[in-house]
Chains A and B, each alone.
Chain A
């Protein structure tokens, strides 16, 4: 084979390979040297979202009364018997009219825009120490109970994939469906930004015992 033929053959092969690979690029990025292709079952395990319009909600249902029992066992220790929040754990009830004040209290009643995404949140994240441990029916029951605690649904409400999208949440119409950020405009000062005398500490964690001292040896390293 002449050298001319060899040179000519290389580009042709490259073009052929490129044409062959191009259509597959969008679907299959190829192998990066690690990982395996997820099975449909694995993808289904991650694909758990339920959306505001109710899409993604599973089969099953739960009543307010069922939810009351599960709530007492799984939720009340942190969120309080009536959703008032123990300690600094999040309140689930109250807070109406506070969102524009200095200390907004966003709760299911005062803030949450869609009932189906309450199901989604509980399902993916609660209870805090054991997320994904509740059945779909348990989560429906808890959703019904928390909505009832907020006086959004009656005592005989049954939560399921049909009823939750129809619940009109009190704060739904007050959302601005555009991201308002950036909502602060700061100047990137790089030099001589403030006189040290003008810097005032307005709040300090000192002496407030905010950090539990139960971590072992490190505690002994703190200044006495």
Chain B
């Protein structure tokens, strides 16, 4: 990943661009358009927080 293993916390996310050029939105962008309870089709970027002790949490960025 080209990142030093220095023990600091990290946020891991991936973003796709489909064959039409559509760029996967952040959860904030998606929520602006569809509200916070759209249930299905939550295709926003998923972020995982890795803490210094190795624990991993599902987080949402502002």
Contacts and interface: CB of A to CB of B under 8 A. Distances in A.
Given A200-B61, A202-B61, A203-B60, A104 B37 contact: yes
Contacts of B36: 102-103
A106 interface: yes
B17 A204 contact: no
Nearest to B18: A182
A206 B50 CA distance: 11
A199 interface: yes
Nearest to A100: B35
**What is the interface of chain A mostly: helix, strand, loop, or mixed?**
loop
Contacts of B38: 104
Nearest to A99: B35
Given A182-B22, A184-B25, A186-B29, A104 B35 contact: yes
A205 B58 contact: yes
B49 A105 contact: no
A184 B41 CA distance: 13
Interface in B41-62: 49, 53-55, 57-62
A191 interface: no
B37 to A, nearest CB: 4
A186 B60 contact: no
Given A188-B17, A203-B60, A205-B58, A102 B35 contact: yes
B62 A202 contact: yes
A183 interface: yes
Interface of B: 11, 15, 17, 20, 22-26, 29-30, 32-39, 49, 53-55, 57-62
Interface of A: 90, 101-106, 182-188, 199-206, 210, 222-223
Query: Shortest 7 CB-CB distances between A and B: which pairs?
Result: A184-B25, A202-B62, A205-B58, A186-B23, A203-B60, A103-B37, A206-B57
